[in-house]
């Protein structure tokens, strides 16, 4: 049974869009794929048309940011469950139907999230993330302001997304973090750590590769607003008092790029593998960490420490 609407915002994603769309269309549970063409000039819309699948619908985006592009797709969607897939990423080949069945039988939950994998620009697997532990409820962690995974892994009831008003346009970035935290305020969220999404690291996306104080500010603000709601207050944005950009707050939080974050996680996996006696696997993880973040001195220091530790 087809129950899922996949929203694919795109602006000049011709190089990867067909791969993203094919990953969604491969699922029988997908009823519609809504491509939000947010001002592309590279023929992205034509690539979507050439896919030749009547489940694809192309809608114009407002060209006013990723939040509004996602919301345009949400407005056009009819399926009861929604997934967002960025135009440079991929949905995993398995697991979507199982998660639909799970939500069908657990009406008190509004969403199921999952693990994800980071991949290179060419699609080579780097590391699985948010994939550890047993399936478990994530509601309390989210309500405390702690996100577990990428929003692309979420299968969410459309009615809940509509109830929260979709993504908030004020967020220039980190809109997905804010949305996850607000969805958890509407109902319970389950986390199944099986990998359901592939996240591409490449030089064409600032949010993937560059750490900026601005992005750190928005991430920090999303969590601060969640704290206000947790205390029973109306958050500042909802109250009509959007916070001004504060470089001090951004600096205090620290800005790590997605690439740096994945490299750090790879380093952690390397040391854990070494402690478990899997020396070759440990070295492979550490080498991957250096390859994807080669300008980082700590990555090279970690590699040297790893080489020395392997000799003991």
CATH number of the domain within which 192 lies: 3.90.550.10
Q: What is the pLDDT of residue 208?
A: 53
Neighbours of 47 (CB within 10 A): 20
147 with 217, same domain? no
Q: What are phi and psi of 151, to 5 degrees?
A: -65, -25
Q: How many domains is the chain partitioned into structurally?
A: 3
173 with 242, same domain? no
Name the domain boundary from 168, 187, 206.
206
Q: What is the pLDDT of residue 273?
A: 83
110 with 57, same domain? yes
Q: Would you write out the chain's pLDDT as a tens digit for each of its 312 residues?
A: 789 999 999 999 999 999 999 999 999 999 999 999 999 999 999 999 999 999 999 999 999 999 999 999 999 999 999 999 999 999 999 999 999 999 999 999 999 999 999 888 889 888 888 888 899 999 999 999 999 999 999 999 999 999 999 999 999 889 999 999 999 999 999 999 999 999 998 765 545 544 567 778 888 899 999 999 999 999 999 999 998 876 665 554 444 566 777 787 788 788 888 888 888 888 888 888 888 788 888 888 888 888 887 776
25 with 109, same domain? yes
Q: Which domain holds residue 216?
A: 211-253
- pTM for the full predicted model: 0.86
Do the Cβ atoms of 270 and 302 come closer than 8 Å? yes
- Tell me how far CA of residue 180 lies from CA of 11, 44, 51, 174, 204, in angstroms: 23, 28, 31, 10, 25
**Which of 126, 202, 175 is CA-nearest to residue 9?**
175
121 with 228, same domain? no
148 with 289, same domain? no
Name the domain boundary from 219, 235, 253.
253
The DSSP secondary structure of the chain, one letter per residue, reads ---EEEEEEESS-TTTHHHHHHHHHT-TTEEEEEEEE-S--SSHHHHHHHT--TTEEEEE--SS-HHHHHHHHHHH--SSEEEE--TT-EE-SSSHHHHHHHHHH-TTEEEEEEEEEEE-TT--EEEEES--S--EE-HHHHHTT---S-GGG-EEEHHHHHHTTSS-TT-SS-HHHHHHHHHHHHSEEEEEEEEEEEEE--TT-HHHH---HHHHHHHHHHHHHHHHHHTTPPPTTTTT-PPPP-HHHHHHH----HHHHHHHHHHHHHHHHHHTT-HHHHHHHHHHHHHHSTT-HHHHHHHHHHHHHHT-
48 with 180, same domain? yes
Do the Cβ atoms of 117 and 198 come closer than 8 Å? yes
Q: What is the pLDDT of residue 205?
A: 55
Q: What is the pLDDT of residue 257?
A: 65
109 with 202, same domain? yes
């Amino acid at each position: 049974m087809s129950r899922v609407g996949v929203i694919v915002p795109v602006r000049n994603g011709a190089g990867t869009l067909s791969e993203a769309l094919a990953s969604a269309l491969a699922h029988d549970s997908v009823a519609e794929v809504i491509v939000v063409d947010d001002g592309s000039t590279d023929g992205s819309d034509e690539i979507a048309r050439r896919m030749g699948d009547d489940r694809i619908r192309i809608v114009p985006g407002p060209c006013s940011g990723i939040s509004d592009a996602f919301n345009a797709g949400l407005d056009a969607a009819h399926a009861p469950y929604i997934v967002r897939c960025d135009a440079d990423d991929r949905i995993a080949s398995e697991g979507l139907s199982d998660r639909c069945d799970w939500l069908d039988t657990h009406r008190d939950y509004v969403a199921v999230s999952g693990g994800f994998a980071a991949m290179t620009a060419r699609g080579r697997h780097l590391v699985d993330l948010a994939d550890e532990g047993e399936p478990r409820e994530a509601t309390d962690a989210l309500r405390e302001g702690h996100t577990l995974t990428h929003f692309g892994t979420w299968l969410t009831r459309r009615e809940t997304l509509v109830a929260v008003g979709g993504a908030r346009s004020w967020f220039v970035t980190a809109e997905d973090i804010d949305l996850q935290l607000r969805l958890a305020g509407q109902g319970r969220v389950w986390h199944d750590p099986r990998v359901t999404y592939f996240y591409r690291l490449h030089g064409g996306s600032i949010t993937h590769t560059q750490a900026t104080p601005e992005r750190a500010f928005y991430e920090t603000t999303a969590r601060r607003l969640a704290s206000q709601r947790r205390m029973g207050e109306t958050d500042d944005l909802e109250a009509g008092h959007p916070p001004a950009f504060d470089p001090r707050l951004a600096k205090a939080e620290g800005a790590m790029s997605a690439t740096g974050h994945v490299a750090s996680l790879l380093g952690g996996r390397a040391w854990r593998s070494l402690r478990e006696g899997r020396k070759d696997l440990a070295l492979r993880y550490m080498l991957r960490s250096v390859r994807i973040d080669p300008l980082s001195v700590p990555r090279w220091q970690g590699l040297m420490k790893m080489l020395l530790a392997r000799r003991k």
